[in-house]
Structure 1
Amino acid sequence: MRRLMQIACAVAAWASLSLPLSAAPTEPENCPGLIASRDALVSRAALRQDEVGLTFVGHATFLIETPQGVRIATDYSDGTRPPVPPDVATMNKAHSTHFSYRPDPGIKHVLKGWNPAGGPAYHDLTVQDVRIRNVSTNIRSSGGGTEYDGNSIFVFETSQLCIAHLGHLHHTLAPEHLKKLGRIDVLLVPVDGGYTLETFDMMEVLRSINASLMIPMHFFGPSTLNRFLSSAREHFPVEFSNTAAITLSRAALPKSPKILVLPGH
């Protein structure tokens, strides 16, 4: 508890940084800011009904925690996963660092961002106080062509927030993608500038989604991150958190789009 109080105090000054649950899945009025530690998961008891815990585990994996205690791991892989089994794990196909051959058997819901039988994956799942859905996108094939529907942008709707994880995005978004996404409040963004999207194109994606808060992921050290940030600063203010776990709320979101860098890579 003392540790949690220290974390809250350390970031409270930064947290003066705000969303409604989506409508029916057929035509979603989709998608309904920030305190934060990498050393410990956000305590379930510490979350109010209007708060969501978000921890950067590493690479493209985040742990999302809801007020009712649902734990979700994004791009859960054999090499990067949270220290406790989540209730839900989402995965993407492009590289083995984004999916698991051996997910923990304690995970209740394993959601693949691709359809092994072909065609787009489709997920629209409600687990207690969170709705999880996906928007299918394409990836580059190993031969340099296009593998259709190999990636999903997963959207997590809880506590009046819409959090979107771009996964291993390989192309800019068309109007139909943006319509399916709806309003996004918090966007988790791969910023490597090569394995996923080139930085110029990623800037187009960020501007088109226009989320209140954008959090970089999928970078391999300071040089990769700084290359992205040098371009991002032309469009958005950039701030740094000293902890890898933050608490999000609608009321605390930035008034205009902002990038927040969490420690790790």
Structure 2
Amino acid sequence: MEIKYLGHSCFRLKGKNTAVITDPYAPELGAFGKQTANIVTVSHQHNGHNFTSGVSGDFRIVYRPGEYEIGDAILIGVPSFHDSEKGIIRGKNTIFVISMDDLVVCHLGDLGEMLSESRVEELGKVDILLVPVGDMSALNAANAARLVRQIEPAIVIPMHYSMPQINRELEPVERFLGEMGVAGVTAQPKLNVSRGNLPLPTQVVLLEAAV
């Protein structure tokens, strides 16, 4: 699987036969370029996460909790909240667990709450965790690091943090890297990963925004 970071909470997961775009964002936040997909996931209905018209191709949109089998991918939408007050402030969020090419990728969306042990168990064994770290409307660096240790993925990729290309006031990714004890990680343009090359223990991978 090839994973590219397109900025904010948007990634392109490209498997052998299926491409998934997560949380595409509207032009007023930035531009993620011309992208095609078979599946587009939307964690919640906000213009930073639901600009599906910016994606090309004959794709299916998945935006609700439930189980979906599309092509050779299986997606499970897990209900959660966009804030620590059970959604009173910002509403609901959907976590997506995507199984494809013998790998399990979990995209937390704009998760704003810590997860209970039972909810973590519902996610199952996660190989690659895509976690928001920039605070403001989602997890801050400290809580993101706590959640990573709770889920114990093989690879964690931070998202939803401050960057020049994205018009959002968020905290810098360096705070999360410091919480994880890996300050000084070098960003790479993409990640190619398979079941056979998953690291142990958890490895933090920082991706350049390909925008």
TM-score of Structure 1 vs Structure 2, range by shorter chain: 0.7 to 0.9
Query: Structure 2: which 5+ residue stretches go unaligned?
Result: 165-170
Alignment of 1:46-195 (within 5 A): 52-68=1-17, 70-79=18-27, 80-81=31-32, 83-93=34-44, 95-100=46-51, 102=53, 104=55, 106-112=57-63, 121-140=64-83, 145-146=88-89, 150-195=92-137
Q: Deviations over 1:140-165 (max 9, x none)?
A: 49xx83455x1111111012210001
Q: Using structure 1 for the length normalisation, give the TM-score.
A: 0.68
Q: Distance in 2 between matches of 1:202 and 1:162?
A: 19
With over 3 angstroms needed to count, the CA separation of the structure-2 counterparts of 1:190 and 1:239, relative to structure 1, is same
Q: Distance in 1 between matches of 2:83 and 2:26?
A: 22
With over 3 angstroms needed to count, the CA separation of the structure-2 counterparts of 1:123 and 1:238, relative to structure 1, is farther
Determine if contact 1:170/1:196 at 8 Å carries over to the other structure: yes
Alignment of 1:241-260 (within 5 A): 241-243=187-189, 245-260=190-205
Give, as a single letter, the amino acid of the residue that structure 1 aligns with 2:134. D
Alignment partner of 1:229 is 2:177: yes
With over 3 angstroms needed to count, the CA separation of the structure-2 counterparts of 1:247 and 1:225, relative to structure 1, is same
Q: Which has the higher contact order (CA 8 A, sep 6+)?
A: 1
Q: Deviations over 1:93-118 (max 9, x none)?
A: 26311112745574421111xxxxxx
Correspondence for 2:145 among 181, 186, 203? 203
Match of 1:240 in 2: 186
SS in 2 for 1:63: strand
Q: Distance in 1 between matches of 2:115 and 2:159?
A: 19
Alignment of 1:26-37 (within 5 A): none
Q: Distance in 2 between matches of 1:217 and 1:66?
A: 20
With over 3 angstroms needed to count, the CA separation of the structure-2 counterparts of 1:247 and 1:92, relative to structure 1, is same
With over 3 angstroms needed to count, the CA separation of the structure-2 counterparts of 1:127 and 1:210, relative to structure 1, is same
Q: Distance in 1 between matches of 2:187 and 2:90?
A: 36
Aligned residues: 199
Determine if contact 2:34/2:55 at 8 Å carries over to the other structure: no
Q: Using structure 2 for the length normalisation, give the TM-score.
A: 0.84
Q: Distance in 1 between matches of 2:154 and 2:185?
A: 13
With over 3 angstroms needed to count, the CA separation of the structure-2 counterparts of 1:105 and 1:251, relative to structure 1, is closer
